[in-house]
Amino acid sequence: MIEKIRRTFIAGLLIFLPLAITIFIVYWAVTYTENLLKPIFLGTQYYFPGMSVLFLILLIFLLGTLGTHAIGQRAIVRLERALRSVPILRTVYTGVKEALKALVESDVEKLKGVVLVEYPRKGVYAIGFTTGSRIENAERESGKRLVNVFIPTSPNPTSGIVVLVPEEEIIYLDIGVEEAMKIIISGGFSGLERKEN
């Protein structure tokens, strides 16, 4: 009974924390921007409540426009180098950027299927995801048809390693990418709960 309560609490925590952090970041950004703009535009015909939301949307589009042009890209690279030179900022910035990048790229089905591969040694299996790409040079040199498999780390699936596995050594699982991600992020607790049910 206690174990079931603990697993239920952990499952709820895994749902609550990402939502709470997202809401907090959005609320903080809107509130901070509103407090910044209000003294400047208050009393003028340009101010209206919630103008910070419009300002943030325009800022995102501006950064996107800069990021798609050569001059803007160079400026962003310089800014990123500066951020990465500061120890604490480097960790926060890199982590957030990689996590968001992984979330956006998952919409393009970068991860194709869920598989089991023997890693890090024979007899021990790791959950991985096949990717759509192939490395022809590696296949030519090895003389085998190799499948690129991304093995994520737990509980942060945005980091991991890529291994090239002979196709005949791969075990395909009949579960979706999202379900496998839940198992990895929960450290296996999600899978254990499903098994008992």
pLDDT digits (tens, 9 = 90+) for 126-163: 999 988 667 888 888 888 889 899 998 887 777 889 99
pLDDT band at 192 (very low <50, low <70, confident <90, very high): very low
What does pTM read for this prediction? Answer: 0.44
Per-residue pLDDT tens over the stretch 30-50: 899 888 888 888 777 777 888
pLDDT band at 170 (very low <50, low <70, confident <90, very high): very high
Q: How many whole angstroms separate alpha carbon 154 and alpha carbon 73? A: 33
Q: What is the mean pLDDT of residues 2-9?
A: 79
As a whole number, the mean pLDDT across the chain is 80
Burial of 12 (0-12, 13-18, 19+ CB in 10 A): exposed
Phi, psi of 112, deg, nearest 5: -90, -50
Whether the per-residue pLDDT at 84 is higher than 90: the answer is no
Q: How many whole angstroms separate alpha carbon 140 and alpha carbon 12? A: 48
Residue-level pLDDT at 75: 78
Q: How many whole angstroms separate alpha carbon 83 and alpha carbon 93? A: 7
Residue-level pLDDT at 90: 76
For 69-73, 74-78, 83-87, which range has the lowest pLDDT when averaged over its residues? 69-73
- To which residue do tokens 């085998």 refer? 144
pLDDT band at 107 (very low <50, low <70, confident <90, very high): very low
pLDDT band at 109 (very low <50, low <70, confident <90, very high): very low
